[in-house]
Amino acid sequence: MSWGVIASKEFEDAVRSRLLWGVVAFVTVMVSVTFLVPLIVPALDTGVLSALGGASEFASLLVPIVSLVAAYLAIAGERESGSLRLLLGLEPSRWAVVVGKFLGRSAVVVVGLATGFVLAGVVAWAIYGSVPLAAFAGVVALTAALGVSFVGIAIGISAATATRARAMTIGIGVYLALSLLWDLVPQGAYLAAFGEAPAQTVPSWFVFLQGASPSGAYSALVMNVIHAVEPSYPTATAGIGGPVPFFVEWWSFAAILVVWTIVPVLVGGYVFGRADLN
Amino acid sequence: MTAIETDGLTKRYGHDVYAVDDLSLTVEEGEVFGFLGPNGSGKSTTIDVLMDYVRPTTGTARVLGYDAQEDAEAIHQRVGILPDGYHLYDRLSGRKHVEYAIRLKDTDDDPDEILQRVGLTSEAAARAAGTYSKGMSQRLALGMALVGDPDLLILDEPSSGLDPDGIRDIRELTLEHAANGGTVFFSSHILSQVEAVCDRVGILNQGRLVAVDSIDGLRDAVGAGTTITVTVDTPPTDLSLGDVDGVTGATVDGSQIAVTCTEPAAKLVVLDRIRATDSRILDFDTQRSSLEDLFSAYTHPPAAESVTEGRR
């Protein structure tokens, strides 16, 4: 059960180092601001659901940063400083370390994101007079899942790298690829297939590719959640002309998010398990 | 039962860098074993293999009867390690470190008792470890190693950064552990510290084990005797000592003649021989060979040593 001991120490460390409060403050401010945007820009729809959708769009770019920052040093930092030598002297199982770190840092991110969103929800309630609780709760849960997914990615990177600098380099690269630049993948594939930019109606594989990154899957799931509350809100598959195949159903995107969480941890843990630590 | 047993243990980095080269070593239970060698001789790498921090290229290592790689979990429950090149958690207090070790090892030690044993006051233990001096860090890390009352203590350069009080405390804890039937594997590059506590010593040089013996045994093995150093007014031209019984070596460095004698009577013969030459003796001095000479004899091959002698 030492993974539990490691996880709880990770969480206590985050409280002690004020990392947790940093996450809460950052998320509260950023999400509150996005709730305000529809009010500031008159041309936009001013409904609270649109604001929630907007906040989630922003969160899909913001949350990966929060998670990566919160977890990229978890193992590589200890390895570079040498505290890992003490830790592994007490608990030699590298998997216990990886799992403990993943769970502990996930708890930090989940608590930080949820608290930040709830505080931002209070701001939204003050502005709009009401908050659709079901949709809001769904978006918070999905945001937490996205956060955990990127903690998994960050832990995988941290486990597989020997130094802080390399962990950071790979972390930034992964963020650019999976969050900022991912849209170029379906766009590029479309261009390659049809020789032109995507039109109003897109093929289902285009929607699947859009949602194949953690942030993409998250955005698709958020649209489905808001759509479930307010049917006039478009689903992720609204652009598909004709029948909707299974691989762009909501559970497909949920599976993508789970895969992005677990596979990096497994790969990182495998590399870490075979590494010479000196 | 054997506490540590390595068989043909080799750790190679890249194609031809051997950190540890074909090391076969046995440490019995209840022994205080000194693992001696200059920096970079492979001591820490050997310990890293025992603790499963690194994996051997070839060969095997067993600790308390368990395979170091296969049964790391069982080993770590019974071993306390003070590793080299460790770092404490800067924000965590000393006491929290010990508590963390107790929870990880799932033992029922009393943190205060452990802190007291290694000489950390409760005020010191309440402070964040980031503020600790090297000596305090070393005491704390040693305390973490003592958690769970291990059968085997592995101490890698335990005295580094410690003042004389700290070095004495380490010595006492080591002897106390051994007196209670525990085994200690004591790695150091400083001979006097190993000499003070160890039953047996293994000397490692460039990844290879060059000697294993008791301190007395090592003394005999090198044939250590007395060095007589004679200062003369002019270097002798016709001195020959090769036929003197009990003389094992002689060097002339300007006006200094150094002769190693294994027989006490040889010293007078040497002086007589020098007086018989046209050199006049200005002074002479005798010195028992120390273990330090012995250690350097093992770790600095004669070829390298001759460079430091003579011909200036």
Q: In chain A, which ranges are continuous DSSP H helix?
A: 2-16, 19-40, 48-71, 76-81, 83-90, 94-128, 133-160, 164-175, 184-194, 204-210, 214-229, 250-274
Substitution target from A1, A12, A95, A276 for chain B, most B beta carbons within 10 A: A276
Query: Which of B53, B73, B103 has the CB atom closest to A5's CB atom?
Result: B103
In three-state secondary structure terms, A227 is helix
B81: chain A residues, CB-CB within 8 Å: 89
Residues B170-189 have a mean pLDDT of 92
Do B141 and A13 lie within an 8 Å CB cutoff? no
Residue of A nearest to B45 (CA): A278
- Cβ neighbour number for residue B112 with a 10 Å cutoff: 13
Answer yes or no: do B48 and A91 touch at CB < 8 A.
no
Long-range pairs for A273-276 at CB < 8 Å and ≥24 separation? A273/A94, A273/A95, A274/B55, A275/A162, A276/B48, A276/B53, A276/B54, A276/B55
**Cβ–Cβ below 8 Å for A1 and B106:** yes
* pLDDT, average across residues B104-130: 94
pLDDT confidence band for A245 (50 / 70 / 90): confident
Q: Indicate yes or no: CB of A276 within 8 angstroms of CB of B54.
A: yes
Closest CA in chain B for residue A273: B53
Residue appearing with tokens 């005797």? B225
ipTM confidence: 0.88
Q: Name which of A226, A201, A229, A218 is nearest A255 in CA terms.
A: A218
Residue A34 backbone dihedrals phi, psi, to 5 degrees: -65, -30
Q: Which domains does chain B have, with CATH numbers?
A: 2-219 (3.40.50.300), 225-288 (3.30.70)
Q: List CB contacts (< 8 A) between B75 and chain A.
A: 92
* A91–B contact, CB cutoff 8 A: yes
Predicted pLDDT of residue B310: 35
**Minimum mean pLDDT range among B63-72, B91-100, B233-242:** B233-242
The answer to whether residue A270 scores a pLDDT higher than 80 is yes
- How does pLDDT run across A105-124, given as a tens digit for each residue? 999 999 999 999 999 999 88
Contact list in B for residue A17 (CB cut-off 8 A) is 91
Asked if A81's CB is within 8 angstroms of B48's CB, the reply is no
On whether any CB of chain B is under 8 Å from the CB of A83, the answer is yes
DSSP letters of B219-260?
HHHHT--EEEEEEESS--SS---TTSTTEEEEEEETTEEEEE
pLDDT of residue A130: 83
Among the partner-chain residues A83, A85, A92, the one whose CB lies closest to the CB of B72 is: A92
- pLDDT tens-digit map of A122-142: 988 888 888 888 899 999 999
| Single pTM value for the model | 0.86
Q: What is the pLDDT of residue A46?
A: 65
Confidence at residue A44, expressed as pLDDT on a 0 to 100 scale: 61
* Highest mean pLDDT out of A5-14, B187-196, B254-263: A5-14
A83 closest CB neighbour out of B45, B48, B89:
B89
Percent of chain A, pLDDT > 90? 62
Contact B86 A9 (CB under 8 A): no
Mean pLDDT of chain B: 87
pLDDT for B26 beyond 90: yes
Residue A218 in 3-state DSSP? Answer: helix
pLDDT in tens, A147-197: 999 999 999 999 999 999 999 999 999 999 999 899 899 999 989 888 888
Please give the residue of chain A at the shortest CA–CA distance from B73. A92
Q: Which amino acid is at B16?
A: D
The owner of tokens 């985050």 is A14
pLDDT digits (tens, 9 = 90+) for A10-59: 999 998 888 899 999 999 998 888 888 777 776 666 677 888 888 888 89
What pLDDT score does B79 carry? 95
Q: How does pLDDT run across B288-309, given as a tens digit for each residue?
A: 766 677 777 777 755 433 333 3
> What are the Cα distances from residue A89, in Å, to B76, B181, B194?
7, 22, 23
